Chains A and B, each alone.
Chain A
Amino acid sequence: MEHFEPVIVAFCCHYCAYTAADMAGSQRLVYPANVKIIRVPCSGKVDSLHIAKAFEKGADGVYVAGCLDGDCHFKNGNDKAARKVAHMRGYLEEIGIEPERLEMVKMSAGMGERFARVATEMTEKIRKLGPSPIKAAAA
């Protein structure tokens, strides 16, 4: 692939990460267009199956973004999400997909800058890793 533009899915919780994304917007913080957000009420709502399907359909990277430790609007959804992500990273490795393609990140609603930074870093990381093995095989 001569010019690789990764596609990254970001599952963002409504109360913190999604709000942080809005914040990044209102502060006009530039980040790569590769990141596409799917809004969920809580990062704890993100299902292992949704993560798997995102990769299966062609995502080069996925991250789940929830609230800071101890700040989950629903008490502990972010911890649950972090455990699920850790579990799914093991599964990806089994499948033969680099586990680094999946991340858990935490941020508060006001951290627009962090949102933009995470989006940038994730995109750069995935760009270095190259297309997901699934996409690479299809090409």
Chain B
Amino acid sequence: MKTQSNLEKVLSGGHLAVTSECGPPRGASAQTVVDKAKYLEGVVDAVNITDNQTAVVRMSSLAGSVLVKQQGMNPLLQMVTRDRNRLAMQADILGAYALGIDTMLCLSGDHTKFGDHAMAANVHDIDSIQLIQMVKGMRDEGKFQGGAEIKGVVPKMYIGAAANPFADPFELRVMRLAKKIAAGADFIQTQCIFNIEKFEKWMEGVRKMGLHEKCYILAGITPMKSVGAAKYMKNRVPGMDVPQELVDRMSGVAKEDQPAEGIKICLETMERLKEVEGVAGFHIMAIDWEEKVEEIVKQAGLYPRPQV
């Protein structure tokens, strides 16, 4: 075992892992975090705490993670390279580990253009792959990125990275995963999967390079609340691939039945993905619909979560 991370234990134990996420509030209320996290208690193996998601200012992911940790749950600290330079990020990693956080996800982050501070500088001192490298260097070599040695306790982070099989150029997507793994990613959370065929095609490439044996791949899942949400994801979110059939299927049912249909689609997707070699678990992103995660996990037969 590289770390003390619960997620690592679940994955290395051969279980299908389940993670989900919790977006911190746009205010300083600890209770909001706690309330949201409660929905996920006992349902997932780790809770992603997003880092100024979509470039909108929120409570810091480090603080959010600590609040979740205080609830006895396993936070998964997200960190984007957009907002801080390598000094700040390393400082936060040390702090996070000191506060009991042992799992993180390394991202480059959405461009500030999309957020509430479009005028802010995009720092990008390093990119996500370099962040992975940096976290791994801290953990495995006990060194800061600048080369100096870490004094005393070394942060042993279980390192995650993101992958989007649906972005272009498609042929580069497997190679980019390989690069992330080479940089030190232990597990991967993918972009929401709606186009299963394309995902399977990507996994084929992943298996061809043997990447599924070098790291754990958690398939991203998002239940659609309504046909509007489906259309929004299809047309507005860059790098999201929602096939027209799904939009049609959603619009084919009455408005009040759409949430149920969304969950149904989500479960069907999970069933199919379980069959895909190399899928090591699920990352359920129920945006503003955290209360449904439990139902999904249960109906997907992934409950109860293993105690490791």
Direct contact of A and B (CB under 8 A): no
